[in-house]
Amino acid sequence: MSNQSPKTLFDKIWSDHLVRQRDDGTSLLYIDRHFVHEVTSPQAFEGLKISNRSVHRPDATIAVADHNVPTINRQNIEDPQSKIQVETLAQNTKDHSIQYFDLMDQRQGIVHIIGPEQGITQPGMTIVCGDSHTSTHGAFGALAFGIGTSEVEHVLATQTIVQNPAKNMRISVNGDLPFGVHSKDLILYIIGKIGTAGGTGHVIEYAGSSVQSLSMEARMTICNMSIEAGARAGLISPDQTTFDYIKGRPYAPKDSHWDQAVEYWSSLPSDSDAHYDHEIVINSSEIDPMVTWGTSPEDVIAVNGTVPSPDSAKSENKKKSIERSLDYMGLKPGTKMTDIKLDKIFIGSCTNGRIEDLRKVASIVKDKKIASHVQAMIVPGSGLVKKQAEEEGLDTILKNAGFEWREAGCSMCLGMNPDQLKPGERCASTSNRNFEGRQGRGGRTHLMGPELAAASAIKGNIADIRDFS
């Protein structure tokens, strides 16, 4: 490809990070920022030690413990294995002079929340982390993707990763979002449309007026779940909204570097005649508030819909998969989604644990009480999100409504810490995965946005925010 040929945002970031092609034909891509957490890194550091290798750029690496940490009683991690993992990260970062936000640091939180919050995440960067939801950072126009532990070791040792170029897919959503429809609904709708393998081998660029009108928080929710559409990464063009969000944050470029950076960032949006391997155009008026009924994020339906029947499946495989999901979820075809009774509400995660999400929930539950049979929990995405929410008085509103107010972490999104569903318990969750056993063995997860989850907490059933007053 010559420098003159039109390029997508992905193509531009790719070519700007290509160190060279290796003799085996693969590309060596430079990595600008590497986020490290306690669960997927210990074996990588161990590998470095065994091979007597060092960390190539400790100054481009940042670490935090989030997956495994308790959201109450922070001083003492009761689970001995979790404790060892967190301590191992602390030791490894100390040994290699890597910046580490420890559990008592207010900046601690979910790795994909704190990167943007600290201004570490910036347009045009390549960012990796041993975590599939690294796609979140794509909201800034950064090429960000999840990697395995062996690749974590590779990046630690070389600051590069071995890749082949991805294909370009563009999903454009146009028009004003209808009443009650927000970014989580938009991405769930997209996943329902293209399926959990729909983006395999691709980087998805989200475009169109609906996407451009969104805040950074809302854009992050969309890019976060690109992995649930099977994509390697999600991207949104950086614009003034992006620059305004970054400016002044602790790790943002300063002074003359700021001007230089903005100039570079402004050159990143895809050229108007750039080629995409795959294009999808969606009119926002098609989209309703969405909720999942099954055990894959593609098992999604409008909240005013009904549980589908296996007979509606287009293939035998799909039919079997619906039957298995319905059996696991304890649901019958034809049941109205809004008739489904809930036991738990989880608000948080790297998908929806930011300040804007908490504000939305607070505005919906203000001066109301959650249904008497539900337990509702809010886990802010970071210590700073928690602090800000407390400064705005959101914690009081939420606690008065009956929510538990916790410390930051991944919590019940994956239930590595004590926050888990019990067998058969049904949860409205603002997280990203409704897999079998994801939130606890036998637990039943309905994914939705924070607005729906808040309304559902009050009703005690899955609720349509459009009928909620």
Partner 1 sequence: MDKFTTLQGIAAPLPIVNIDTDMIIPKQFLKTIKRTGLGVSLFYEMRYDTEGKLIEDFVLNTKPYDKSKILLAGDNFGCGSSREHAPWSLKDFGIRCVISTSFADIFYNNCFQNGILPIVVKAEELDRLMSAAGSQLEFNIDLPNQSIQVGNHSFNFEIEDHRKERLLQGLDDIGITLGYKEDIATYETDKKNQKPWLFGDL
Question: Scanning residues 349 to 388, which ones bind partner 1 (CB under 8 A)?
Answer: none
| Min CB(133)–partner 1 separation in Å | 9
The 242-261 site mask, x for binding partner 1 (CB under 8 A), equals ---------x-x---xx-xx
Q: Which two tokens stand for residue 14?
A: 């790719």
Q: Looking at beta carbons only, is 125 or 218 nearer to partner 1?
A: 125
Residue owning tokens 């995440």: 121
Residue 59 burial (CB count, 10 A): 10
Strand segments, DSSP code E, in 31-94 are 33-36, 61-64
Q: Looking at beta carbons only, is 37 or 459 nearer to partner 1?
A: 37
| Min CB(37)–partner 1 separation in Å | 11
Q: Looking at beta carbons only, is 144 or 397 nearer to partner 1?
A: 144
Q: Looking at beta carbons only, is 28 or 371 nearer to partner 1?
A: 28
| Min CB(126)–partner 1 separation in Å | 10
Instruction: Tell me the sheet residues that pair with 18.
Output: 29
Task: Return the DSSP state at 348.
Answer: -
| Min CB(7)–partner 1 separation in Å | 17
Q: Is 324 in the site for partner 1 (CB under 8 A)?
A: yes
| Contact predicate 295/439, CB 8 Å | no
Site for partner 1 in 408-437 (CB under 8 A): 414-416, 423, 433, 435-437
Q: Is 150 in the site for partner 1 (CB under 8 A)?
A: yes
Site for partner 1 in 289-318 (CB under 8 A): 296, 317-318
Q: Looking at beta carbons only, is 79 or 239 nearer to partner 1?
A: 79
Q: Which two tokens stand for residue 22?
A: 């290796």
Q: Looking at beta carbons only, is 393 or 423 nearer to partner 1?
A: 423
Secondary structure of residue 91 in the 3-state scheme: helix
Structural Rg of the chain based on CA atoms: 22
Q: Is 88 in the site for partner 1 (CB under 8 A)?
A: yes
Site for partner 1 in 66-85 (CB under 8 A): 67-68, 79, 81-82, 84-85
**Residue closest to 74 by CA, chosen among 109, 114, 35:** 109
Q: Is 160 in the site for partner 1 (CB under 8 A)?
A: yes
Q: Is 159 in the site for partner 1 (CB under 8 A)?
A: yes
Secondary structure of residue 173 in the 3-state scheme: strand
- Size of the residue set binding partner 1 (CB under 8 A): 82
Task: Return the DSSP state at 217.
Answer: H
Residue from 1, 106, 148, 286 that binds partner 1 (CB under 8 A)?
148
Q: Is 32 in the site for partner 1 (CB under 8 A)?
A: yes
Strand segments, DSSP code E, in 317-451 are 344-347, 375-378, 403-405, 426-429, 444-447
**Residue closest to 456 by CA, chosen among 343, 308, 333, 349:** 343
Part of the chain binding partner 1 (CB under 8 A), chosen from 227-235, 240-248, 283-291, 305-313: 227-235
C-alpha distances out from residue 248 to 60, 114, 243, 396, Å:
19, 15, 10, 29
| Contact predicate 282/181, CB 8 Å | no
Q: Which two tokens stand for residue 128?
A: 């990796």
C-alpha distances out from residue 332 to 60, 97, 306, 424, 425, Å:
51, 55, 9, 15, 16
| Min CB(247)–partner 1 separation in Å | 13
Site for partner 1 in 186-225 (CB under 8 A): 196-197, 200-201
Q: Looking at beta carbons only, is 152 or 454 nearer to partner 1?
A: 152
Q: Which two tokens stand for residue 38?
A: 């306690």
Q: Is 264 in the site for partner 1 (CB under 8 A)?
A: yes
Q: Is 25 in the site for partner 1 (CB under 8 A)?
A: yes
Amino acid in the structure at residue 278:
H
Q: Which two tokens stand for residue 439?
A: 């939130």
Q: Is 37 in the site for partner 1 (CB under 8 A)?
A: no
| Min CB(390)–partner 1 separation in Å | 27
As a whole number of angstroms, the distance between CA 208 and CA 213 comes to 9
| Min CB(435)–partner 1 separation in Å | 5
Q: Looking at beta carbons only, is 260 or 312 nearer to partner 1?
A: 260
Q: Looking at beta carbons only, is 402 or 443 nearer to partner 1?
A: 443
DSSP string across 243-304: HHHHTTSTTS--HHHHHHHHHHHHT-SPPTT---SEEEEEEGGG---EEE-SSSTT-EEETT
Site for partner 1 in 47-66 (CB under 8 A): 51, 53, 56, 59-62
Q: Is 27 in the site for partner 1 (CB under 8 A)?
A: no
| Min CB(84)–partner 1 separation in Å | 6
The 107-136 site mask, x for binding partner 1 (CB under 8 A), equals -------------x-x--x----xxx----
